[in-house]
Structure 1
Amino acid sequence: MGLLPLNYRRPDHVSEEDVRRNESSVEFDEKADASLKSGYSGTSPGIPDALTFDRILNGGACPPCTVRDFMNYLIYIEHAAENLQFYLWYRDYVRRFDAAPASETVLSPDWTRAMEEDTIARVQKDATGKAKKDAPVARELFKGTDFEKAPEARVESRDPFATPPRSSAGDTASLSGSQATSYVSQAEDAFSAVGVKQPFTIQPFRSEINRVIATYIVDDSPRQLNLSSCEQKAVVRALSYTTHPSALRTLSQNIENTLRRQAHPNFIRWSICNGNPARVTFARGLGVGTILVAAVGSIILTLSKAGRGWRALFAILWVLGIATLVAAAKGMCVVLHGLHHRNVRPWELFVEDNTTGLEQLHEGKRSFDSFGSCNSYEDEPWVVKYQRRFYVRKVFDREVWIQEPALRQIQDTIFLQSVLLALFGASALTAIFVAVPAGGFF
């Protein structure tokens, strides 16, 4: 494969605020829904066609850009694996529901757009009405206290570490079910909390939908999605009416939008880095040190009686230092790039141990289990082992070959950009030092 254009830029880091800002300007109508299904990936600039979201999920990429690598990134780096787990389940659920006999699926009617909009309006109206009803009680309760003058600030405050964040309206009536002993009882508690009747158990996939509610929807569920209180209640009401995939249509579109526009670009940006943090920090220090040596050497020769030609020799150090520093600023080590290698990830390091390897294999399979436990990894054996690892040993961690050609192409382009920038900077600095008259001090 050839190089990318020299003006190539790796994907920008996308924050949750950026995604929310984009969502406010994009409406998921029928045309947009069709474009998503036809393969539109909303690819960010800097991502080649070989590394698109759909290609990765369909198994068309090689390590370290496979769907398993994507899942590991969401678990260990972004801490949002539940989005991909839910998305993979929903995609499979749509396929299985469409393949089910018509005599069964007829029991689960479509959840139309009009029904969804009406449900959301009712949920919002109930939340607004409850807030107004509770306002006089709250004022009377806080009368004569420090909270009387600014009740709004008290209501809006919430735990910054809560996951997911919830709107203040209707928090007292938020869904429950974390203490239930089964998926059925948790789903029943969820339906009761939003004031709807228990659904027909003869609907197809009803037991699976109950597990989805208990795993992804209700508060304190193992893989709770980032839903507001209003979204949460609207989804539960929809699922109480039908098990048709359309009941989860808006939720799945929001999750897919987050995966495509935030998680996927950030994953590609992270995958471009071929060194671990310790290695990249070491490379930056090496680049700065080389530049300082070149600068000090050039200054000494300039102040001496040595000929000007000797100063040009430091151009080699200028090039090496600047190229190393620029590449490290983008998360790359030039030594590893020369071999097309990358450092092994911390969670991959200790796979040589048989017991730990089996445990990690089990963890990897569990991450693709649609109804597995939470995605916490603090108790995994590699965490403590890696924390105890010496810094120098982290710098020279084990390496593996980068198999994905498109990723190597990106890294080749970034390396060439670093070298060209280094040549330009070294030429300018060398010309300045050569042009300065000799000091003749020694």
Structure 2
Amino acid sequence: MGLLPLTYSRPSHVSREEFEARATSPSERASLRSGRSSLSAGIPDALAFDKIIAGETCPPMSVRDFMNYLLFIEFSAENLQFYLWYQSYSERFRKAPKSDLALAPEWTREMEEEIQVKLQREATEKMRRRPKRGQATDIFEGTDFEKRDPMAAEAIIELDSPPVTPKTQNDVEEAHPGELYNESVYCPSSLPSVTSTLRSPTSEAFHAAGAKAPFTIQPFREEIDRIISTYIMTLLHALSYTTHPSALDIAFKSVDASLRFQSHPNFVRWSVCNGNPPRVSFARVLGFSGIALSFGLAVMLVLSTASRGWRGFLAFGWAIGICTVVASYKGMCICMYAMHHRHIRPWELFLDAEEGAADSASKRSFDSLSSSNSFEDEPWLANYSSKNLMRKIFDKEAWIEEPVLRQIQDTIFVQSLLIGSAASAVLAVIFVFIPSGNFFSF
């Protein structure tokens, strides 16, 4: 396979805050739906999310590797578990007898919007019936909330984007200078305070689940109440009406967006790294050491009576050192790259035939209904932690089977080599033209 364009850059890390901020923007939300979002830039088509899920990729880019990444690195395996379960459930539902399907009608968008408006109207009516202390006037009188028609289209909350944690304008300007912040409907600053309105439905939800009423002065409790009354109550209404997969669309869309445009780019970026952190740091130290050694030799040659031509040979040392450093900052060890090897992950190191501890944890992670996603008690975790630094640096290696991942690494290596060659050529020319000091001879 050939190289990718030399302008290629591996996917940038997508933080939760960045994903949420972009997902609440109308223009970005449209690009998320179409699959053209900038959040997925740098991912070749062969490593697309759908191809990984369909099993069309090889280790270390398989769906099992993706699950392990979510389980052990991102700690969000429940998203992929739900996604895979929903796909399986939808397929099994479609194959059910027609007589059974007739008992579970589809949950439509119109029905979803009707429930949302109904819940908001009920909350509004309850709030209107509550008089102020000592008088019976409408507490919404004179407010923007009074003017808003609960049946209006803008009262319907967009549920195909994930909720966001409230942020102030100053917080956003510090994180993204010069950018405008599109407030989410979930932010307290963009909605009137209706905590008491939400308390009744949320209290009923907690009571139905057999849980105690929440501690109402906890931070972000108002936002959580909104999530319960909008997401959970709507979802419960849908599931009480039908078992059709469409009743779960509200949850599936949120999970799908999170997997596609946050977890998947981060997984591809993480998989490009062929060495563990100790090995990559070790390679970086060697690279800087090679650069420093070449500089030291260059200074000695300048101060000596040696011919200037000898200084040109130091370009090879600079090129290798700079190439090693640049590659290390992209997560690659060029020694392992030369063999197209990668370090075996910690949870892969302590497998015992078919019933390895890490393997059993990985298998359980695919069980959406019984997995606890907890691996703190797995023996491999303690075993790996007890290994000394040198053993971690020279850990076991495995062949990279996925050809497109090797193609990405080839491209990164060539980029690093070009940067190293250009920089070393400049340094060599500079030192060649410096007059000799003639202080000593070899």
Q: Which moved more, 1:50-59 or 1:124-133?
A: 124-133
| Matches of 2:426 and 2:22, distance apart in 1 | 42
What residue is the counterpart of 1:258 in the other structure? Answer: 258
- Do structure 1's residue 189 and structure 2's residue 214 form an aligned pair? no
What residue is the counterpart of 2:364 in the other structure? Answer: 366
Deviation at 1:249, TM superposition (A): 1.0
Deviation at 1:12, TM superposition (A): 1.2
- C-alpha deviations, 1:385-439, integer Å up to 9, x for none? 1111101100000000000101101101110111111000000111111111112
What residue is the counterpart of 1:433 in the other structure? Answer: 431
- C-alpha deviations, 1:193-233, integer Å up to 9, x for none? 9xxxxxxxxxxxxxxxxxxxxxxxxxxxxxxxxx9323122
Deviation at 1:242, TM superposition (A): 1.3
Contact in 2 for aligned 1:42/1:260 (Cα 8 Å): no
Q: Which moved more, 1:411-420 or 1:121-130?
A: 121-130
What residue is the counterpart of 1:5 in the other structure? Answer: 5
- C-alpha deviations, 1:317-372, integer Å up to 9, x for none? 10110000000000000000000000000000111x459x4333322221111202
Q: Secondary structure at the match of 2:349?
A: helix
| Matches of 1:32 and 1:438, distance apart in 2 | 62
- Do structure 1's residue 58 and structure 2's residue 54 form an aligned pair? yes
| 1:189 counterpart letter in structure 2 | A
What residue is the counterpart of 1:234 in the other structure? Answer: 234
Residues 75, 133 of structure 1: CA spacing in aligned structure 2 closer, same or farther, 3 A cutoff?
A: farther
Please give the root-mean-square deviation of Cα atoms over the aligned residues, in Å: 3.4
Residues 30, 419 of structure 1: CA spacing in aligned structure 2 closer, same or farther, 3 A cutoff?
A: closer
| Matches of 1:16 and 1:136, distance apart in 2 | 41
Deviation at 1:67, TM superposition (A): 0.2
Residues 245, 26 of structure 1: CA spacing in aligned structure 2 closer, same or farther, 3 A cutoff?
A: farther
| Matches of 1:15 and 1:127, distance apart in 2 | 34
Q: Secondary structure at the match of 2:42?
A: coil
Residues 135, 84 of structure 1: CA spacing in aligned structure 2 closer, same or farther, 3 A cutoff?
A: farther
The counterpart of 1:385, out of the listed 358, 383, 392, is 383
Contact in 1 for aligned 2:358/2:380 (Cα 8 Å): no
| Matches of 1:267 and 1:382, distance apart in 2 | 22
- Do structure 1's residue 91 and structure 2's residue 111 form an aligned pair? no
| 2:359 counterpart letter in structure 1 | L
Contact in 1 for aligned 2:324/2:333 (Cα 8 Å): yes
1:183-332 to structure 2, matched below 5 A, reads 189=209, 228-229=227-228, 230-332=230-332
The counterpart of 1:419, out of the listed 417, 420, 428, is 417
- C-alpha deviations, 1:149-187, integer Å up to 9, x for none? xxxxxxx89xxxxxxxx9894478647999xxxxxxx9x
Contact in 2 for aligned 1:41/1:54 (Cα 8 Å): no
**What runs of 5+ residues in structure 1 fail to find an aligned partner?**
138-155, 158-165, 179-185, 194-226
Contact in 2 for aligned 1:340/1:402 (Cα 8 Å): yes
| Matches of 1:423 and 1:294, distance apart in 2 | 14
Contact in 2 for aligned 1:175/1:233 (Cα 8 Å): no
Residues 61, 130 of structure 1: CA spacing in aligned structure 2 closer, same or farther, 3 A cutoff?
A: farther
Deviation at 1:382, TM superposition (A): 0.8
Contact in 1 for aligned 2:342/2:397 (Cα 8 Å): yes
Deviation at 1:104, TM superposition (A): 1.3
- Do structure 1's residue 81 and structure 2's residue 80 form an aligned pair? no
1:141-180 to structure 2, matched below 5 A, reads 169=195, 170=198, 174=202
What residue is the counterpart of 1:198 in the other structure? Answer: none
Contact in 2 for aligned 1:276/1:395 (Cα 8 Å): yes
TM-score (norm 2): 0.75
Deviation at 1:2, TM superposition (A): 1.1
What residue is the counterpart of 1:120 in the other structure? Answer: 116
**What runs of 5+ residues in structure 2 fail to find an aligned partner?**
134-165, 168-185, 189-194, 214-225
Residues 306, 172 of structure 1: CA spacing in aligned structure 2 closer, same or farther, 3 A cutoff?
A: farther
Contact in 1 for aligned 2:43/2:268 (Cα 8 Å): yes
Contact in 2 for aligned 1:287/1:324 (Cα 8 Å): yes
What residue is the counterpart of 1:101 in the other structure? Answer: 97
* Number of residue-to-residue matches in the alignment: 369
Deviation at 1:19, TM superposition (A): 2.2
Contact in 1 for aligned 2:14/2:266 (Cα 8 Å): yes
| Matches of 2:14 and 2:353, distance apart in 1 | 38
Q: Secondary structure at the match of 1:331?
A: coil
| Matches of 2:210 and 2:90, distance apart in 1 | 23
Q: Secondary structure at the match of 1:441?
A: coil
Deviation at 1:41, TM superposition (A): 9.5
Q: Secondary structure at the match of 1:373?
A: coil
The counterpart of 1:405, out of the listed 381, 400, 403, is 403
| 1:359 counterpart letter in structure 2 | A
Contact in 1 for aligned 2:22/2:29 (Cα 8 Å): no
Deviation at 1:373, TM superposition (A): 2.7
Q: Secondary structure at the match of 1:342?
A: strand
| Matches of 1:28 and 1:301, distance apart in 2 | 57
Deviation at 1:300, TM superposition (A): 2.0
Q: Which moved more, 1:427-436 or 1:127-136?
A: 127-136
